[in-house]
Amino acid sequence: MRLTTKGRYAVTAVLDLALNSKDKPVNLSDISSRQAISLSYLEQLFSKLRKNNIVKSIRGPGGGYLLNAPRDQISVATIINAVNESVELSRCDGRANCHDGQQCLTHNLWVDLSDRINDFLDRISIGELIRQNEQQNSQINRNHQGDIPISSYGS
Amino acid sequence: MRLTTKGRYAVTAVLDLALNSKDKPVNLSDISSRQAISLSYLEQLFSKLRKNNIVKSIRGPGGGYLLNAPRDQISVATIINAVNESVELSRCDGRANCHDGQQCLTHNLWVDLSDRINDFLDRISIGELIRQNEQQNSQINRNHQGDIPISSYGS
DNA sequence: CTATACTTGACTAAATTAGTTGGTTATTAC
DNA sequence: GTAATAACCAACTAATTTAGTCAAGTATAG
């Protein structure tokens, strides 16, 4: 489990997709301008998201991407792992090439932790994230911290 | 909240420290050779850990580092945040410099998620990690997956 | 047929991570 | 008091990853 800007971009882009696709496919140019992520970088990310069956694509004019499953069935962990694919976490994960016992022990401890984080993020779906945020905004229906009205979001 | 190899190194090093210091300070050279992390990189990490009061140092011969609190009071989140200091997560976190409402919305969603991950990791202490792993090893006292005996760990 | 938009791959720039070097300072032991 | 140890510190470099650019394609709607 890794949590970098790359994963953040991917989750953000999928959230944008979920929020803006009303059964209609959303094209990457739109996500690019809304989220200020370069088109080509989005292409790289969506290529991996598509290969992992998180989104599906429709080519040609009016095409774009759609979620490949209901919002509540797409977990944050799935998205992050999709774009971080093929990055090995620990140099010795079970294999015996770990000279010193001490090193292997701490590696195991890290792998345990990593698994727990993964389980945690696997239980958070993008649907849940969106709902939770909506609830927050309706509960605290006044300005928080600064003076940016909540109502300016959907503009 | 970010989760990179840097944080992994830091957590691993603190775990090594916790496991090897019996009231005696542990010097970085030992951690370096046990964990195969370069000495100078450890110095950089421990400089931050010390400034964040996670460890304390003793200079001179026989010196080294000690945990600055009981194992159970040092959370994984604290360690990771200490070494990742001064890395801003999201370009608009509450400030009004976020042109488009859509961008700000997804940013908020990410900040919410990040907070949840942080809370989660703040509830996991290195003491707990070590205990949990000890339990696992005593419960499953036979080979798992491959054929590397558990008993070879502590050698 | 033409414009749109996905798809792919190679390449480049920027940022972060990791390691190197070469010191200084505090402390212990001799 | 001087030699050895180990923290402390800063500047520099190498390696890796992230992000973006460029230049092709292919499928499809109209």
3-class DSSP state of B64:
strand
CA distance B36 to B145: 25
- Residue B23 placed within a domain: yes
B88 in contact with chain A, both atoms CB, cutoff 8 A: no
Which percentage of chain A shows pLDDT scores above 70?
79
What does the block give as tokens for A143?
């300005």
Residue A107, domain member (yes or no) = yes
Contact check, Cβ <8 Å, A12/B104: no
Residue of chain B whose alpha carbon sits nearest to that of A34? B103
- The pLDDT assigned to A48 comes to 96
Tell whether A128 is covered by a domain.
yes
Q: Do B112 and A105 touch (CB under 8 A)?
A: no
Q: Which of A46, A85, A84, A86 is nearest to A68 (CA)?
A: A46
DSSP per residue, A12-73: HHHHHHHHH-SSS-B-HHHHHHHHT--HHHHHHHHHHHHHTTSEEEE-STT-EEEESS-GGG
**Mean pLDDT along residues A100-113:** 84
For residue B69, tell me if it sits in a domain: yes
In a domain, residue A67? The reply is yes
- The pLDDT tens digits of the residues spanning B123-143 come to 999 999 999 988 887 876 654
Say if residues B122 and A98 touch (Cβ distance below 8 Å). Answer: no
pLDDT tens per residue, range A87-97: 555 555 444 44
Is the pLDDT at A152 greater than 60, yes or no?
A: no
- Percent residues over pLDDT 90 in chain A: 67
Measured CA to C1', the nucleotide nearest B27 is D6
Q: For tokens 């093929």, name the residue.
A: A86
Would you say residue A55 lies in a domain? yes
| CA–CA distance, A141 with A149 (Å, rounded to integer) | 9
pLDDT band at A140 (very low <50, low <70, confident <90, very high): low
Domain that holds residue A73: 5-145
What pLDDT score was predicted for residue A81? 95
Q: Is the pLDDT of residue B95 over 90?
A: no
Kindly indicate the confidence band of residue B148, based on its pLDDT and cuts at 50, 70 and 90.
Answer: very low
Q: Which of B30, B113, B148 to mutate to test the interface with A (most CBs of A within 10 A)?
A: B113
Chain segment B5-28, per-residue pLDDT in tens: 999 999 999 999 999 998 899 999
Q: What is the pLDDT of residues A35-67, one digit of tens each?
A: 999 999 999 999 999 999 999 999 999 999 999
Smallest Cβ–Cβ distance between B100 and the set A1, A34, A101 belongs to A34
B148 in Cβ contact with A94 (< 8 Å): yes
Give the minimum alpha-carbon distance from B78 to chain A in angstroms, rounded to a whole number.
14
Let me know if residue B88 belongs to a domain. yes
Total domains present in chain B: 1
Nearest residue of chain B to residue A84 (CA atoms): B4
For residue B30, tell me if it sits in a domain.
Answer: yes
Of B2, B103, B120, the CB nearest to A35: B103
**What DSSP designation does B57 have?**
E
CATH for B111: 1.10.10.10
Instruction: Identify from A109, A123, A139, A155 which residue to disrupt to test chain B contact, counting B C-beta atoms within 10 A and taking the largest count.
Output: A109
* Per-residue pLDDT, B76: 97
